[in-house]
Amino acid sequence: MSVAISVEGLTVRFGDVTALDNVGFSVEAGEFVAIIGPNGAGKSTLLDVLLGVQKMESGTVKVEGLDKVGYIPQRKDLDKRFPAKAIELVVCGAMGFWPLVKRKGFEERALRAMKRVGVDHCAEQQISTLSGGELQRVYLAKSLVRDPSLLILDEPAAGMDLAGEADMYHLLLDYQKDYGATVVMITHDWEGARVHADKVLLLNKKVIAFGDAKDVMDEARLLHLFHHRGHVGESHDKEHYHD
């Protein structure tokens, strides 16, 4: 298998604060990687570096398929008062910029993507009226609409109920299988990561551990990572660990 993501000696600093310190790992094409770590661990910063929107102080980062990456940002970064229908957001994903007028071909493609993730019934709904889970699914449709070979997801299941989370994993796994796509996602769902991810990266400014999910996620390591806070092993204890 070819290497999709290669990171060596990555260091990022914001003034005097070190966000990432000598981080290194590599992801093979077609792998599903979950990134887990406490608040302020540098998870989102790492994604930003992979996406090419964050400068690094030192290190080497190579990412294949970045020109057509599927990306889901954190919901807090969006302007929720923006006047737009859900389908426009997905059309935007297909076109690469915000649509001024309706374009039939792109709309059909967007609707197919929305149907694939089960939100085609929300197509004409205002973004501001979507629930957290619906918005995440619309974003998933946006990220899949161009059939990317790389998906980078920042807490894609945030705001979803347990059934929604399970659905999200199945959709991602199906897509990964069908398209041979590489998936990198930040998650606070330890159990989900343990069951579904091929590899897990435990991060706290440095790489605490990286490898097969079942090997990496032992209780002692997670206790060390989260400094004994919360309840290790309870997979849905999100309230405590949101970034």
Q: Which of 147, 156, 154, 155 is nearest to 181 (CA)?
A: 147
Residue 61 corresponds to which tokens in the numbers above?
């980062």
Residues 10-49 as x/- pattern, contact with other proteins by CB under 8 A: ----------------------------------------
CB 54 within 8 A of CB 91: no
Asked if residue 79 binds other proteins (CB under 8 A), the reply is yes
Q: Which of 2, 17, 55, 101 binds other proteins (CB under 8 A)?
A: 101
Amino acid at 40: G
DSSP state letter for 160: -
CA distance 142 to 114: 8
Q: Which of 5, 32, 37, 88 binds other proteins (CB under 8 A)?
A: 88
Q: Which of 83, 104, 105, 220 binds other proteins (CB under 8 A)?
A: 83
CA distance 5 to 149: 12
Q: Which of 29, 92, 173, 208 binds other proteins (CB under 8 A)?
A: 92
Asked if residue 104 binds other proteins (CB under 8 A), the reply is no
CA distance 187 to 34: 6
**Which residues sit at the interface with other proteins, rule CB under 8 A?**
51-53, 69, 71, 73, 77-79, 81-85, 88-89, 92, 95-101, 126
